[in-house]
Amino acid sequence: MAVCIAVIAKENYPLYIRSAPTENELKFHYMVHTSLDVVDEKISAMGKALVDQRELYLGLLYPTEDYKVYGYVTNSKVKFVMVVDSSNTALRDNEIRSMFRKLHNSYTDVMCNPFYNPGDRIQSRAFDNMVMSMMVQVC
Amino acid sequence: MEGLTLSDAEQKYYSDLFSYCDIESTKKVVVNGRVLELFRAAQLPNDVVRQIMELCGATRLGYFGRSQFYIALKLVAVAQSGFPLRVESINTVKDLPLPRFVASKNEQESRHAASYSSDSENQGSYSGVIPPPPGRGQVKKGSISHDTVQPRTTADPQEPASPVVSPQQSPPTSPHSWRKHNRHPSGGNSERPLAGPGPFWSPFGEAQSGSSAGDAVWSGHSPPPPQENWVSFADTPPTSTLLTMHPASVQDQTTVRTVASATTANEIRRQSSSYDDPWKITDEQRQYYVNQFKTIQPDLNGFIPGSAAKEFFTKSKLPILELSHIWELSDFDKDGALTLDEFCAAFHLVVARKNGYDLPEKLPESLMPKLIDLEDSADVGDQPGEVGYSGSPAEATPSKSPSMPSLNQTWPELNQSSEQWETFSERSSSSQTLTQFDSNIAPADPDTAIVHPVPIRMTPSKIHMQEMELKRTGSDHTNPTSPILVKPSDLSEENKINSSVKFASGNTVADGYSSSDSFTSDPEQIGSNVTRQRSHSGTSPDNTAPPPPPPRPQPSHSRSSSLDMNRTFAVTTGQQQAGVVAHPPAVPPRPQPSQAPGPAPHRPVDADGLITHTSTSPQQIPEQPNFADFSQFEVFAASNVNEEQGDEAEKHAEVLPVEKASDPASSLRVAKTDSKIEEKTATSAPANVSKGTTPLAPPPKPVRRRLKSEDELRPEVDEHTQKTGVLAAVLASQPSIPRSIGKDKKAIQASIRRNKETNTVLARLNSELQQQLKDVLEERISLEVQLEQLRPFSHL
């Protein structure tokens, strides 16, 4: 289960960021922020080809001692960043992919809402619920 | 919730109680603290209290909203009066005394007394806490000095100053809600400050000028007063957010007027409706929503695009966040557009929200759009079934693209309309009957030639088939060339048949077999296929993997088996081919055994000689026929391949093992080898041998020869060295190969054994090919599935 999930807009400002309620929230924010560099690097590396050839799932961005950071970018350069606990060895790549897919689907649902202006913070309850379901069920 | 009618005193009392319990003035009373005390003070048994709480919906919401609280209080009164606790009892039980809360709550009692005395001062003392609910006792209202509640006196739009005005007792039934909407604009305030739900209520307060009618409605009495509301509803100038409704209100007037008289009926109906469904849309509500929908989108089956819906609902002055949430709830299929059902649900949610009802976390069942073949929200009978999901983000397109549920429906349509689909659906079911036609069709169907090269692509060929069929049917229905017409006289079946035929042939070509078992009785067509395949296999023995002979029993089964042998022989060595070529002619000479007796008599002599010379077991005698066969065969082979002596030897070695007899066979082999050797030396021998050579060797023989060549060669060589002398003598006597009657039996048995071995080999081959077929079929199915999956996406 993820410890922190963030949705970053194209201009690299956060649209949505939520962490598991631990005391490390600021640390997660920072990790997400630093991971953006890695995301950009991955995008530019792959981006030589056409965008549609680029895969959306970026995979493990970088591991730290305690956590692993995964990335996913949509075709509109909206980035999803997920921080998972390293001790959670049960998480396989496929599961991460499926989590990102769910995130992407929920994000598109949010987009479809005409009352949502792109660039606003995501305040959709449904999105929130979905993210919470993916977060660490520690507490 | 159904309408809760409260008398004035009740209203006052309840509001006071609510304020008493609402310590934090949040307008939401949590289920603890004073509420519990209150209920306990009601001196009701615990389960009754629980029931009350359940009925009023507090358990659902998790807290007591004002309306829930009021209902609870009413229920307490009902329970205390001894009436059964039911939802309807809230309103049906008239003249209920106020709920008595026996407790040391002197404040309550005092409040109670105060309310009864309609003491305005008391109320005034609470005025800061609770503005008395609007629409209640007009008299009292007048006396109320509360700012917001000066509706009757002045249309004072001091909404911002008003804290939460108590929601109307009755849940937002349609007339109420509309009235509220009405009131709002009538207040002349188009700008409702977003200071929370409070401002929503204030217009209601100020619109209480017609509250007399409201009371009437609430008490479920005379219809005419409600009509005033409608009138006012219609008259209000379109200045406010909800004024978009007003243009429709003119239309609604008539409906409303007629509805007004039915309002009471609605009330009653609502009261008797099931409590579990507070989100139910009543008829007039729905009618209203539908009218609103029409203003945006004339086509009731079409969509309202997101932008138009956004504008529409923004006018309701709800905060964007809430509107966003409402949208999330109501856009069921997440396509960015609202169908009629979705629009009604959204509208209903907006109305509810404006009346203070909190938005649910997920869409209530009664608001869910109806889907064909899916939901059956039985309690919402008034909602017309909509077309259902549409995956496409339609821009108010009238027609929906067929989605999953509608596909279920379109399938039968397609089945009837398009013969192609019909054939597909019917193929498997009526294949049995169709097979009978297949054989008839096959010769008459000139399209078999066309079908074969196109294994999977049914449609074009089917179209072509249909054309042909049409031509045929058009020409002459009694045309004997189209025997299909004889039995079924409608085109569809013929096309069915044709397509099934096509399918069969397509399958045949695709897989090399007729995949469906039903086509087993399709000899002719398959025969035609087989001929093609056979020709294929004949020409290029090692062509594509699945051109094996069809698993159908063929009249020329032996032929096919021999073909197999051909293939296998060809694969093995070229050397064999000479022998192979020899074999087909080998089959007819079945009556060889009859001829065998001719040379047979010679055999025993030789056998004896063999025995004596080789000093082997007497088994040699019965083996003689084999020996004879071998010799014949070997002679035959020798005659063919005289130059390659090594080959001959090999062939002999392979021929010999056919018998699988250990010593005798080996001895025979030895004899044969020696005879071969002898023949190499003596050219005359072949002549003699050839005389007796009966190509009795059945086809399997060469196989075994090949298979066991290595095995046999070794012992052969050994024996060869040992018994050269003996063999020489044997060989000398070989030319005249007698055949005894016993040898006949042996020969037959041998041939039987050989045939059995052939059968086993063929069976093995068959199973392998069947496996290949299964694999190919699975691949095909998976590809088709993938294609189906991809196809819908192409619509997007």
Of B92, B124, B141, the residue that ends a domain is B92
Q: What is the mean pLDDT of residues B209-231?
A: 40
Considering only CB atoms, which chain A residues are within 8 Å of B306?
Answer: 112-114
Q: What is the mean pLDDT of residues B301-323?
A: 83
Contact B310 A109 (CB under 8 A): no
Q: Which domain holds residue B27?
A: 8-92
Query: Can you tell me the distance from the alpha carbon of B740 to that of B744, in angstroms, rounded to the nearest whole number?
Result: 6
Q: Does B287 reside within a domain?
A: yes
Query: Can you tell me the distance from the alpha carbon of B434 to that of B416, in angstroms, rounded to the nearest whole number?
Result: 18
Considering only CB atoms, which chain A residues are within 8 Å of B309?
Answer: 114
Considering only CB atoms, which chain A residues are within 8 Å of B393?
Answer: 112
Contact B325 A124 (CB under 8 A): yes
**Are the beta carbons of B469 and B437 closer than 8 angstroms?**
no
Query: Can you tell me the distance from the alpha carbon of B26 to that of B65, in angstroms, rounded to the nearest whole number?
Result: 9
Q: How many other C-beta atoms lie within 10 A of the C-beta of residue B195?
A: 15
Tell me how far CA of residue B683 lies from CA of B419, B635, B669, B675, in angstroms.
73, 11, 20, 11
Tell me how far CA of residue A54 lies from CA of A38, A60, A82, B487, in angstroms.
16, 16, 19, 59
B residues 302-341 lying closer than 8 A (beta carbon) to A: 306-307, 309-310, 313-314, 320-321, 323-325, 327-328, 331, 334-336
Q: Name the band, by pLDDT with cuts 50, 70 and 90, for residue B64.
A: low
DSSP labels, B443-509:
HH-TTHHHHTT-SS-HHHHHHHHHHHHHHHHHH-TT-TT-GGGGS--SHHHHHHHHHHHHHHHHHHH
Q: What is the mean pLDDT of residues B194-217?
A: 40
How far from the centroid of its chain's Cα atoms is residue B397's Cα?
Answer: 26
Q: Name the band, by pLDDT with cuts 50, 70 and 90, for residue B340.
A: confident
Considering only CB atoms, which chain B residues are within 8 Å of A124?
Answer: 324-325, 328
Query: Can you tell me the distance from the alpha carbon of B718 to that of B738, in angstroms, rounded to the nearest whole number?
Result: 28
Q: Does B340 reside within a domain?
A: yes
Query: Can you tell me the distance from the alpha carbon of B564 to that of B170, in angstroms, rounded to the nearest whole number?
Result: 88
Residue B568's Cβ-side half-sphere holds a number of Cα atoms within 13 Å equal to: 21
- Report the alpha-carbon angle B533-B537-B543, nearest 5: 105
Number of domains in chain A: 1
- Report the alpha-carbon angle B392-B395-B397, nearest 5: 80
pLDDT of B443 strictly over 50? no
Q: Does B576 reside within a domain?
A: no
Helix (H) / strand (E) element for B338: namely: strand B337-338
The pLDDT tens digits for A84-107 are: 887 766 678 888 888 899 899 999
Chain B CA closest to residue A108: B334
The pLDDT tens digits for B623-676 are: 444 444 455 555 555 555 454 444 444 444 444 444 444 454 444 444 444 544
H helices present in B682-738, as ranges: 684-692, 700-707, 709-722, 724-733
Question: Which residue, among B727, B738, B729, B632, has the nearest Cα to B686 in the 3D structure?
Answer: B632
Query: Can you tell me the distance from the alpha carbon of A130 to that of A5, in angstroms, rounded to the nearest whole number?
Result: 11
The most confident of the ranges B96-105, B205-214, B280-289 is B280-289
- Give the type of residue at B451: V
**Are the beta carbons of B604 and B720 closer than 8 angstroms?**
no
pTM, entire model: 0.34
Q: How many residues belong to chain B?
A: 796
Radius of gyration of chain B (CA): 49
Tokens at B592, concatenated: 């060889």
Report the pLDDT value the prediction gives residue B459, as an integer from 0 to 100.
Answer: 52
**Are the beta carbons of B151 and B211 closer than 8 angstroms?**
yes
pLDDT of B376 strictly over 50? no
CB pairs A-B closer than 8 Å: 39
Considering only CB atoms, which chain A residues are within 8 Å of B316?
Answer: none
Question: Which residue, among B173, B594, B502, B115, has the nearest Cα to B352 in the 3D structure?
Answer: B173
The most confident of the ranges B54-68, B456-470, B567-581 is B54-68
**Are the beta carbons of B60 and B38 closer than 8 angstroms?**
no
Report the pLDDT value the prediction gives residue B782, as an integer from 0 to 100.
Answer: 94
**Are the beta carbons of B603 and B740 closer than 8 angstroms?**
yes
> Which residue in A115, A124, A127, A128 has the most chain B C-beta atoms within 10 A of its own C-beta, making it the best mutation to test that interface?
A115
The pLDDT tens digits for B472-503 are: 554 444 444 444 444 444 444 444 444 444 44
Supply the CATH number for residue A46's domain: 3.30.450.70
The most confident of the ranges B135-144, B493-502, B717-726 is B717-726
Query: Can you tell me the distance from the alpha carbon of B32 to that of B320, in angstroms, rounded to the nearest whole number?
Result: 33
Of B328, B355, B382, the residue that ends a domain is B355
pLDDT of B47 strictly over 70? yes
pLDDT of B378 strictly over 70? no
Tokens at B35, concatenated: 């509420």
pLDDT of A26 strictly over 60? yes
Q: Which domain holds residue A17?
A: 2-137
The pLDDT tens digits for A58-82 are: 888 888 888 888 999 888 889 999 8
Report the pLDDT value the prediction gives residue A45, as an integer from 0 to 100.
Answer: 76
The pLDDT tens digits for B5-14 are: 667 777 777 7
**Are the beta carbons of A63 and A40 closer than 8 angstroms?**
no
Query: Can you tell me the distance from the alpha carbon of B618 to that of B611, in angstroms, rounded to the nearest whole number?
Result: 7
Mean pLDDT, all residues of chain B: 55
Interface of A with B (CB under 8 A): 108-109, 112-116, 123-126, 129
The pLDDT tens digits for B731-752 are: 554 444 455 667 888 999 999 9
pLDDT of A41 strictly over 70? yes
Chain A CA closest to residue B393: A112
Q: Name the band, by pLDDT with cuts 50, 70 and 90, for residue B68.
A: confident
CB crowding B20-41: b at 16 or more within 10 Å, else e:
bbbeeeebbbbbeebbebbbeb
Specify the 3-state DSSP secondary structure of B337.
Answer: strand
pLDDT of A55 strictly over 70? yes
Query: Can you tell me the distance from the alpha carbon of B369 to that of B376, in angstroms, rounded to the nearest whole number?
Result: 10
Contact A112 B306 (CB under 8 A): yes
B residues 340-369 lying closer than 8 A (beta carbon) to A: 361
Of B355, B387, B406, the residue that ends a domain is B355
Q: What percent of chain B has pLDDT over 70?
A: 24
Q: Å from A125 to nearest chain B CA? A: 7
**Are the beta carbons of B166 and B66 closer than 8 angstroms?**
yes
Using CB atoms within 10 Å of the CB of residue B83, give its burial: 0 to 12 exposed, 13 to 18 middle, 19+ buried.
Answer: middle
Report the pLDDT value the prediction gives residue B476, as an integer from 0 to 100.
Answer: 46
Closest partner residue to A115 among B320, B335, B393, by Cβ? Answer: B320
Q: Name the band, by pLDDT with cuts 50, 70 and 90, for residue B764.
A: very high
Number of domains in chain B: 2
Considering only CB atoms, which chain A residues are within 8 Å of B360?
Answer: none
Q: Does B306 reside within a domain?
A: yes
- Give the type of residue at B542: D
Report the pLDDT value the prediction gives residue B26, as an integer from 0 to 100.
Answer: 59
Q: Does B344 reside within a domain?
A: yes
Q: Name the band, by pLDDT with cuts 50, 70 and 90, for residue B464.
A: low
Q: Does B51 reside within a domain?
A: yes
Q: What's the complex ipTM?
A: 0.81
B residues 543-602 lying closer than 8 A (beta carbon) to A: none
Query: Can you tell me the distance from the alpha carbon of B115 to that of B107, in angstroms, rounded to the nearest whole number?
Result: 12
